[in-house]
Amino acid sequence: MSEPPPGVTVLDGPVSLARLHGEACITCGATPPRLEPVGHVQIRGEERSWPVAACPAHAHHVGSVPCRYCPAPDPDVVIRVAASASGPDHPVYAHLACAEARGEKPLYKVGPGAGEEAAR
């Protein structure tokens, strides 16, 4: 098994085909009218990568958003939703451990596997 190329996020499977095909949000499985491309993912153990999309709330998550408190990628919770003057509110991401270390209560989990609870 080779290292994924830069920009490709490796996910633990299984991930539904709708998500891999960009027909549903890769993070939560929602199917809003507009999905934004968020790069490529690869299922752990598989060679091929998929161009995927995400709903507006998760469009900046996959492989690109740093933790609020540390430089490591792939935060796994949202600690708050920051209001934005232009456009939709944007979630503030952090690692669960980083948030708890600072007494922050996570709003909800993100990332592969957390989708079903995040979908409403």
Residues within the interface to Zn ion (CB under 5 A): 25, 27-28, 30, 55, 58, 67, 69-70, 95, 98
Nearest CB to Zn ion, comparing residues 11 and 25: 25
Nearest approach in angstroms of CB 11 to Zn ion is 14
Nearest CB to Zn ion, comparing residues 27 and 49: 27
Nearest approach in angstroms of CB 17 to Zn ion is 17
Nearest CB to Zn ion, comparing residues 95 and 112: 95
Nearest approach in angstroms of CB 50 to Zn ion is 16
Residue 55: φ, ψ to 5°: -70, 165
